A and B are shown apart, each in its own frame.
Chain A
Amino acid sequence: MEQSNSQQRLEAFEAEAVGYAGQLFRVALRVCRDREKAEDLVQETYLQAWRSFHRFELGTNLRAWLFKILFNVHYSRLRRERLNLTPVEETIAETIAYDPPAPQRLTDEEVLAALERLPRDFQIPVVLSDVEELSYREIAEAMQIPIGTVMSRLHRGRKLLRMELANYAREAGYKIAN
């Protein structure tokens, strides 16, 4: 009896939540920079989510909740490993006054390569916003940083990305608007 009850609950959980595994994994990859670690992080995220699924309010945003747990697990692992979170180099983009236009006609590979060269603190919000389409508020909650910080990291991250791509484009002789 108890078992069939658990079965039902688990099925409900899987039906609702497991579909987001791919999205969580993509972000986990940016966070861990290692496939195996990223898969492990996603797995732990789902275990934690399952353990507190009874407290999840239906109708609220499950995906954002999962991302929040993912970062929670990630941060507590960092603490356990006695690693400090890498200080954000807030100044990197501060000095860049020039905002390059977005280049056209670049391949997806070039875009991905440019993304991967961004500092992680900028890269992750950009992926959460532009790829996974989380709102700024959801990103702030997931990453546990103020929304103002999200906005400034996004602003700088996108700008840096365009700089990288503009360099690419210039080298490749592509046309840049303006």
Chain B
Amino acid sequence: MRVMDCRNFKELLDSYLCGELAVETNHAILGHAEHCGACRDEMAARRALRQSLRRACSREEMSAEAIERMRARLRAEAGLADRATGAAVKTGRRGWLTRLFEARLLVPVAATAALLLLIGGAWSLYVVWPKAGPEQTVAEKNRVPELSERLIGESAGDHRNCAAKFLNATEPAEMPDSVREFDPACVRLDKVAAEGAKGLLLRSAHVCGYGERRFAHLVYTRDDRLISLLVTKRDARALKIGDVPPFDGLSAGLQQYEQVEQDRLALGAYQTAKHVVLVVSDLPESENRALAERLAKPVVEHLRSAELSRAALNPEERLGRLSPREWNRL
């Protein structure tokens, strides 16, 4: 251990005041202070400085209105009647739907779109989304999308590129067993989804890709409208470094997006710990939302239980469903 001279004392003094030192070092600090008046004074001065900092900062209070607004949003989020404000968040429906939150992205100005076309080509249209403008209300601003813009773009792109090929497909469609290579949880995905797909015609089941993103893809039609159900794996590395939201987005319910470049696409998404399930179509937003709930729900439940049973077999596979304590260890 270092000799406790005045220099070391001053180096360690703040950590001593924070209670961050080992017991022996604490003793050494106190021992030094006992016979060195200058260091004793320094200790008193730094202690006073800490107290002064605490007093000065503690004057800043969150306003009572802001706290009340926050409580109101929590009540709305919990699906409880919002007596205080009533307006901010839709809570009309219960159960699964109560936790539904929207991320309605506002229509971009035409100029932005034109500029993007010039600089990025058509591809960037998928990827770049309009930013929340200052004209938005607080409630709208707070409906933060949890999906990355990139994934939204890739899913929309895959729907446009791939699903269209199967609009008039006639062969009976079945998910090939080779899907196992992509993800064992997606084996028999078509059967799992069938429960929510009543009234839809399955045109194709396959694994495909858009850019670097891979999807298990079910293509449906209803009255000549194309509907894609896409399952993709969340990026485990990105999860770890916090690039994608670490929260299991399922708790937030269905997220609804609308893309208004070119042809209008509606996109509803659920996250599980390790997957994202998306329903993309050119149906009106409300219809797509209803369909997404119905179609994606059994798939999401299936994936969750597959994730859990794999996690039980292999504890290291549990990324994404980590407790705060486990997160801390990452």
Residues of A that sit less than 8 Å from B by CB: 2-3, 6-7, 9-10, 13-14, 18, 21-22, 25-26, 29, 38-40, 42-44, 46-48, 50-52, 54-57, 60, 65, 68, 72, 75-76, 79, 81, 99, 101-104, 106, 108-109, 111-112, 115, 126-127, 129-131, 133, 135-136, 141, 144, 151, 154-155, 158, 161-162, 165, 177-178
Q: Are B252 and A51 in contact (CB under 8 A)?
A: yes
Identify which of A38, A39, A154, A165 contacts B14 (C-beta below 8 A). Answer: A154
The answer to whether B119 has its CB under 8 Å from any CB of chain A is no
Q: Within the assembled complex, what's the spacing in Å between the Cα atoms of A38 and B69?
A: 14
Q: Within the assembled complex, what's the spacing in Å between the Cα atoms of A101 and B67?
A: 40
Q: List 7 A-B contacts (CB under 8 A).
A: A25-B60, A26-B58, A48-B247, A60-B324, A127-B57, A135-B18, A155-B14
Q: Which B1-31 residues sit within 8 Å CB-CB of chain A?
A: 10-11, 14-15, 18-20
Name the segment of B136-144, B153-161, B301-309 touching the other chain.
B136-144
Residues in A with CB closer than 8 Å to B243 are 79
Q: A2-B95, A26-B57 are in contact. Are A136 and B20 (CB under 8 A)?
A: yes
Number of A-B contacts (CB under 8 A): 157
Q: Which B227-273 residues sit within 8 Å CB-CB of chain A?
A: 242-243, 245-248, 251-252
Min CB gap A165→B, angstroms: 7
Identify which of B14, B56, B67, B328 contacts A108 (C-beta below 8 A). Answer: B56
Q: Within the assembled complex, what's the spacing in Å between the Cα atoms of A38 and B66?
A: 10
Residues of B that sit less than 8 Å from A by CB: 10-11, 14-15, 18-20, 38, 41-42, 45-46, 48-50, 52-58, 60-63, 66-67, 69-71, 73-75, 77-80, 94-95, 98-99, 131, 138, 141-142, 144, 242-243, 245-248, 251-252, 321, 323-325, 327-328
Q: A154-B14, A178-B38 are in contact. Are A130 and B54 (CB under 8 A)?
A: yes
Q: Are A111 and B61 in contact (CB under 8 A)?
A: no
Identify which of B60, B71, B79, B252 contacts A29 (C-beta below 8 A). Answer: B60
Identify which of A13, A14, A109, A129 contacts B18 (C-beta below 8 A). Answer: A129
Min CB gap B140→A, angstroms: 12
Q: Are B74 and A104 in contact (CB under 8 A)?
A: no
Q: Within the assembled complex, what's the spacing in Å between the Cα atoms of A31 and B124?
A: 32
Identify which of A6, A55, A75, A177 contacts B78 (C-beta below 8 A). Answer: A6
Identify which of A50, A55, A144, A151 contacts B74 (C-beta below 8 A). Answer: A50
Q: Are B74 and A13 in contact (CB under 8 A)?
A: yes
Identify which of B45, B66, B248 contacts A43 (C-beta below 8 A). Answer: B66
Q: Within the assembled complex, what's the spacing in Å between the Cα atoms of A51 and B321?
A: 13
Residues in B with CB closer than 8 Å to A103 are 45
Residues in A with CB closer than 8 Å to B10 are 99
Q: Are A102 and B20 in contact (CB under 8 A)?
A: no
Q: Are B42 and A177 in contact (CB under 8 A)?
A: yes
Min CB gap A43→B, angstroms: 4
Min CB gap B8→A, angstroms: 12
Identify which of B50, B60, B78 contacts A130 (C-beta below 8 A). Answer: B50
Q: A3-B80, A47-B77, A101-B45 are in contact. Are A39 and B53 (CB under 8 A)?
A: no
Q: Are A22 and B61 in contact (CB under 8 A)?
A: yes
Q: Are A111 and B38 in contact (CB under 8 A)?
A: no
Q: A43-B73, A131-B54 are in contact. Are A52 and B60 (CB under 8 A)?
A: no
Which 4 A-B pairs have CB atoms at the shortest separation, nearest pair first?
A: A102-B45, A25-B62, A112-B56, A108-B56
Min CB gap B320→A, angstroms: 11
Q: Within the assembled complex, what's the spacing in Å between the Cα atoms of A101 and B14?
A: 12
Q: Within the assembled complex, what's the spacing in Å between the Cα atoms of A21 and B65?
A: 13
Q: Are B141 and A40 in contact (CB under 8 A)?
A: yes
Min CB gap A14→B, angstroms: 7
Q: Within the assembled complex, what's the spacing in Å between the Cα atoms of A129 and B314?
A: 38
Q: Within the assembled complex, what's the spacing in Å between the Cα atoms of A76 and B243?
A: 8
Identify which of A52, A136, A178 contacts B251 (C-beta below 8 A). Answer: A52
Q: Report the nearest A residue to B10, measured CB to CB.
A: A99
Identify which of A21, A42, A108 contacts B55 (C-beta below 8 A). Answer: A108
Q: A18-B67, A42-B62, A103-B45 are in contact. Are A50 and B78 (CB under 8 A)?
A: yes
Identify which of B66, B78, B252 contacts A10 (C-beta below 8 A). Answer: B78
Q: Are A177 and B48 in contact (CB under 8 A)?
A: no
Q: Are A51 and B247 in contact (CB under 8 A)?
A: yes
Q: Within the assembled complex, what's the spacing in Å between the Cα atoms of A135 and B20?
A: 7
Min CB gap A61→B, angstroms: 9
Q: Within the assembled complex, what's the spacing in Å between the Cα atoms of A33 and B271?
A: 33
Q: Are B142 and A44 in contact (CB under 8 A)?
A: yes
Min CB gap A159→B, angstroms: 9
